[in-house]
Chains A and B, each alone.
Chain A
Amino acid sequence: MGAERSFAKEVQQLRAGEGEVFFGEGILAVTKGLLQSGVAYVGGYQGAPVSHLIDVLVDAEDLMTELGMHVETCASEAAAAALLGASINYPLRGAVTWKSIVGTNVAADGLSNLCSPGVMGGALIVVGEDYGEGASIIQERTLAMAMKSTIWLFDPRPDLQNIVDMVEQSFELSEASNTPVMMQLRIRSCHVQGEFIAKNNRAPKVGTKNRFTDPAVFDYDRLAHPPVTFSHEKLKVSARLPAAQRYIVEHGLNELIEGEQKSVGIIVQGGIYNILMRRLQVMGLADAFGNSKIPVLVLNVTHPLVPDQITDFCAGKNAVLMVEEGNPEFMEHQVSSLLRKADLSTKLHGKDILPAAGEYTADVLQQGLVSFFELAMPTGIHKSHIQDLVARSDDARMGGKVALGQPSPPRPPQFCTGCPERPVFSAIKIIEQETGKVHIAADIGCHAFATFEPFSMGNSILGYGMSLASAAAVAPFQERRSISIMGDGGFWHNGLTSGVVSTMLNAGDSILIIMQNGYTSATGQQFIPNSAAGRHKEPPGMDIAKTLKGLGVPWMKTIRTYSVSVMVDTLREALTTDVPGLKVIIADGECQLARQRRLRGENAGKLERGERVVTPRFGIDDEICSGDHSCIRLSGCPSLGIKDNPNPLKSDPVATIEPTCVGCGMCGEVSHAATLCPSFYQIEKVTNPGVFENMLATVRRGAIGFLGGGA
């Protein structure tokens, strides 16, 4: 589905049958697991780290259609959660996916109402747990949401075979306990490349090719509506929970590694297992094949816990370490309570020696383990070996910093070369020099890169599509109008209602800039309602300007983003006009990554056919460049770089255009709009020129050569 990455080749592997070796990424393995489980419908909303799962589902649509499955690309996670409603009344297995915690938050209402009546067909939510290194969102735990709504949570040991097995098991568990199941995949698990042994795909019992003849019978118990909600609440604890716990034990979903050091033990979330085992190996307490001297209980299911399993593991041990990443430590509290109630004296360690918050990296976990072994002092652990290890780690942690003596300059992500969103922020920077600073409500999307240098813009980020709503109580207290930035993805996801409609309802006087680039670009250019072409090549046909016109927005302009001067004038007007109410600027420009990919294909075809192709790019006369870098402070384009000054009398580096320039035109526009130096020039190279064009070029070169301009 995404324009950025096609899985068309990889999805062929999804047809693999019984006993074949499947090699691929984590998300492909999950998809294969869904097919092996006989799901009837899949859906979701994109967001790292599971954006590509949506891409895979869509790229595998042919295969799914063959099997009688339905694929839905949902407009938001709320829609995806509601999609699972099909499993309440029908024995249909369904799976949806989104980025968590944010997607889970958006889906929360639907999830609560799904969980109350419970499900008949297995329902699985694959969440990409965007936590720790590489995460792009607030750091919270999905477990909290699973616990409060009664959703069982898998956190599988990150081995592709195990992940696929757990996908299959999750449907069984869901049906055995009439409860939806979540599977949390950490960032690296989603992208891990590995292998597993495949099974045959299974068509759903009822599919799009053999439909139900009649709808489900009316059954009030299946509604999330009083009075049955009261009995649902009781059912969750009296029937569904015990059923789930029974299933977990009977099917061995959690794994026990027997170790000879029976006096201690470690309980670990499945997702942290590989890190733990490597630490134990480095400490000489385990090997690379999962054999350990220390007993380990691996929880592939982190909610619910099974009390007997926990107390059986802890019984007879002096001390147990709970390795639970994230805050608050819900599982540790439960284990602690179980031990107390079972009257076990086993000492429980966890967040007392491991950090309360933050990712459990190898180094963090190792420090925790060292503390644990010092406190618990099991036999058979060589103290000198541990001390050597600690010294080595200390050197690794500090040695490089000392040798370097200075911190490295940060390199955060930024707008791509030629990005259509960059010129909008250049325009804001220019107008702010005239009007003074304005309050800027930022949003989720590529445009959030404007919070980094050289723009450093944005006073708040409140969630996807929430910028305008977040400015509602700011605007009334500002002398100047505030500006809210929103992507078209965010607009359709949430911004239309919570932002535009809410502001219109309250006659709010503020400015909304909608970045209309045609995709959810940050997640890999998935299609949205206003994309030029959707997943079936046909345009979905929805239009932002028409929608807003229909709502009666009093002031609206659509501006090509690269026209910086026009954008500056438009912003000035929006900031100063007497027209009351909401003022919307649609900043129009196709995502450059997507555009370049499209052009590469088109131009390759043209060149092959001998047709005319124009290649634009920019250049800088480095003799004229002042070395002041105003242009960079207004742009920050990756292809606008710096190099040594060619003038040996000057020391400041000069600006230079890297060969990666796509000739978007922004440099010229900015130097006009901001009256920068005249060093910029635009080049257009014509391949396969027309006869007349060629002649003209020859004549011109001759004449210019004659005038002294070289040739």
Chain B
Amino acid sequence: MELSTVRPITLLIAAMGGEGGGVLTSWIVNAARSCGLPVQATSIPGVAQRTGATTYYIEIWPEVLSVGATKPVLALAPAIGEIDILAATEYVETGRMIEAGYVTPDRTTLIASNHRVFTTHEKLAMGDGRADVAPIKKAIKERAKRAVVVDMREASSKSGAVINAVMLGAICGAGVLPITRNVFEDGIQAEGKAVEANLRGFKAGLDAATTRANSDEVTEASVAVHSALSHAISNDFPLAAHQTLIHATTRLIDYQDIAYATAYLEKLKPFAQGDQELLVSVGRNLAVRMAYEDVYRVAQVKAHPDRLMRIRKEARAQTGEPIKVREFFKPRLSEISDALPAGLGRWLQSLAERNPGLAQKSWPMLIETTSVSGYLRIRVLSGLRRIRRSTLRFKTEEQAITNWLAYVGKAMETSHKAAMQVSECSSLIKGYGDTHKRGVRSYSAIMNQLVVPAVTGDKFTDQLAADIYAARTAALADPEGKNLMAVLEGMAA
């Protein structure tokens, strides 16, 4: 028996529910049909549709069959190693398909968008939980026969089309399907929905696939920065730290005033001639600690002159379309006492200590910053940052910063690694309310158990650096602090 060896062209689309993968599939199916090519498509909708990762699979017979000829048996599911075109609308989904075996060097043309839509798991980390994309880039190079990798989200937002139109253009431009450009465009027109935008998106994808193929390089623009204190910085600090210190001083001037930024440089001077990596770390953390977040800072950001224009842009408000902006505040007693002059703040705190109910109390408020009175309140609060140096919180922070700098200085004498770790512990402290409280709790626990005994006993070692690192990582593992407690207990035992 002589068996024909012609096989169908296989196309697998990896997408997320709600991205229009179904429409993309229909466009391709209809284009194949209008060319007279037998075609079959399947998908697995169900609940995977609800923003989860999902796939669509298409098989196209490459030849027009005569009337009455036996139809080919087309498969309903993709097979590993047998995909001609893999289209992925997101970078990690691209990686997932490579991992599953749907991209092979002998056969697969990979068409992918390199933008990221982060998974819940990546988003909910207490620090930076984003997946490393370098392995995906490497895997594309190794596994794809040919790759067209572009930022389709950008192309989509520029053209005003949904990402699926851009993808259709890129698939067409890749030239694997025996279907010409005008057939796809006619299909978009025949459907009659958002025709102009979809055609623009299609063209963007097509151009990307034909001209910028495999341009997965992102060049980082070098930013030239200056600061009022540039001169002082270049006089007193090594070049390696300049960029960080210029950013830091610029921010501190905005946060408070020039004197505050000058004080920052003064605090940093003892580290100027030491190890440069440590200088940058302390410089970065010190600036963040000195620009701690309080009600005055929040008010200052909310009252910023550029903010309303930015929000109008976000809301895509046209001229003649008014917007209303409402802010969600819920200060607690501690945040109020923190913002008061130290004496008054302490009195309020002692009052709260005697009335536990009061300490727990918080005042939810909605402030409309697009109303005159609402804006005025924010503006006045923002102006009050001039009294910041007298506040209870400022005194607390100053003391904590002084201690921390002393610890780092002490550690520096014997272990560079330990000094780096003590410096980096600062990043545990961030935010407001519970987040801030939790950060301070973790920070203090590490300082009290590991750092302070080392200061008194003069025992900063590389082993201690490893312990601090382990504790710091554990502190970011869960909001309840259970991991940190377990790690610290283990070290104490």
**Which residues on the A side are within 8 Å of B53 (C-beta)?**
411
CB–CB B372/A647 < 8 A? no
- Contact indicator A191/B45 (Cβ below 8 Å): yes
Interface: B180 (CB within 8 A): no
Q: Are B45 and A678 in contact (CB under 8 A)?
A: no
Asked if A175 lies at the interface with its beta carbon under 8 angstroms from chain B, I say: no
* Additional 17 contacts, C-beta under 8 A, given A411-B120, A703-B375: A273-B73, A288-B73, A400-B139, A413-B17, A619-B311, A624-B301, A649-B244, A651-B127, A653-B130, A668-B326, A668-B328, A671-B330, A672-B364, A675-B330, A680-B328, A681-B325, A710-B308
Task: Check if A685 is an interface residue, CB within 8 A of chain B.
Answer: yes
The 8 A-B residue pairs with the shortest CB-CB distance in the complex, in nearest-first order: A626-B431, A396-B81, A134-B44, A413-B52, A697-B322, A362-B79, A710-B305, A48-B46
With known contacts A133-B44, A615-B315, A633-B124, A624–B322 Cβ distance under 8 A = no
Cβ contacts under 8 Å, A287 to chain B = 3-6
Interface assignment of B8: CB less than 8 Å from any CB of chain A: yes
Query: CB within 8 Å of A: which of B369-385?
Result: 369-372, 375-376, 379
> Of A23, A454, A707, A710, which is within 8 A of B120 by CB?
A454
Q: Does B158 contact A (CB under 8 A)?
A: no
Closest residue of B by beta carbon distance from A628: B435
Q: Is the CB of B126 within 8 A of A628?
A: yes
* Chain B window 289-323, contacts with chain A (Cβ cutoff 8 Å), 1 for yes, 0 for no: 00001000110011111111101001111101111
Say whether B321 contacts A49, CB under 8 Å.
Answer: no
Given the known interface contacts A409-B121, A632-B123, A672-B328, the answer about A189 and B247 at a Cβ–Cβ threshold of 8 Å is no
* B174 nearest CB across to chain A (Å): 20
| Residue A397 at the chain B interface, CB threshold 8 Å | yes
Interface residues of B in 110-132 (CB under 8 A from A): 117-128, 130-132
Chosen A-B contacts, 13 in total, with CB atoms closer than 8 Å, are A135-B46, A274-B75, A285-B3, A400-B99, A400-B104, A403-B98, A406-B135, A408-B95, A408-B99, A628-B435, A657-B314, A684-B324, A711-B308
**Complex CA distance for A291 and B1, rounded to whole angstroms:** 9
B482 within 8 A of A: no
Residues of B bordering A, CB below 8 Å: 1, 3-8, 16-18, 25-26, 29, 33, 39-54, 61, 70-82, 92-93, 95-106, 117-128, 130-132, 135-136, 138-139, 142-143, 244, 247-248, 251, 284, 287-288, 293, 297-298, 301-309, 311, 314-318, 320-330, 332, 362, 364, 366, 369-372, 375-376, 379, 427, 430-436, 439, 479
CB distance from B490 to the nearest CB of A (A): 25
Q: Would B73 and A411 count as touching, CB distance under 8 A?
A: no
CB A703 to nearest CB in B, in angstroms, measures 5
| A682 & B326 in contact (Cβ 8 Å cutoff) | yes
Nearest Cβ distance between residue A177 and chain B, in whole angstroms? 30
Contact B132 A406 (CB under 8 A): yes
The docked-state distance in angstroms from the alpha carbon of A685 to that of B375 is 18
A281, CB-defined interface residue at 8 Å: yes
> In whole angstroms, what is the CA distance A522 to B329 when docked?
35
Check A226 for interface membership: any CB of B closer than 8 A.
Answer: no
The number of chain A residues touching the other chain, given as a range, is 35 or more
A549 at the interface (CB under 8 A from B): no
- B305 to A708, Cβ gap below 8 A? yes
Distance between A490 CB and nearest chain B CB, rounded to angstroms: 15
Q: Is the CB of B73 within 8 A of A274?
A: yes
Query: A397's contact among B8, B80, B93, B430, by CB below 8 Å, is which?
Result: B80
* Complex Cα gap A683–B328 (Å): 12
CB pair B126 A188 closer than 8 Å: no
**Interface 1/0s, chain A 619-632, versus B by CB < 8 A?**
10101101111101
Report A-chain residues with C-beta under 8 Å of the C-beta of B52. Answer: 411-414
Q: Is A154 an interface residue (CB 8 A)?
A: no
Beta-carbon contact of A193 and B42 below 8 Å: yes
A315 to chain B, nearest CB (A): 22
A629–chain B nearest beta-carbon distance, Å = 6
Q: Does A552 count as interface, using CB distance less than 8 angstroms? A: no
From residue 237 to 285 of chain A, which have CB atoms closer than 8 A to chain B? 260, 273-275, 277-278, 281-282, 284-285
**Looking at the complex, which of A32-40, A75-83, A339-347, A686-694 is the stretch in contact with chain B?**
A686-694
Given the contacts A399-B101, A649-B288, A687-B321, A49 and B125 also touching, CB distance less than 8 Å? no
Contact A648 B306 (CB under 8 A): no
User: Which residues on A sit within 8 Å (CB–CB) of B317?
Assistant: 685
The answer to whether A700 has its CB under 8 Å from any CB of chain B is: yes
Question: Assuming the A-B contacts A133-B44, A400-B101, are A683 and B77 also in contact, with contact meaning beta carbons closer than 8 angstroms in the complex?
Answer: no
Q: Is A415 an interface residue (CB 8 A)?
A: yes
A323 to chain B, nearest CB (A): 15
A48 to chain B, nearest CB (A): 4
Q: Output the nearest chain B residue to A667 by Cβ-Cβ distance.
A: B328
CB distance from B286 to the nearest CB of A (A): 10
Distance from A637 Cβ to chain B, minimum over Cβ atoms (Å): 10
Cβ–Cβ contact A281 & B7, under 8 A: yes
Cβ contact within 8 Å between B316 and A685:
yes
Which chain B residues border A446 with CB–CB below 8 Å?
47, 50
| B contact residues around A611 at 8 Å (CB) | none
Asked if A62 lies at the interface with its beta carbon under 8 angstroms from chain B, I say no
- Determine which of B71, B118, B436 lies in contact with A641 in the assembled complex, contact meaning CB atoms within 8 Å: B118
Q: Give 1 or 0 for each of A408-423: 1 = CB within 8 Å of chain B CB.
A: 1111111110000000
Using A621-B302, A629-B124, A672-B364 as known contacts, say yes or no to A289 and B73 having CB atoms under 8 A apart: yes
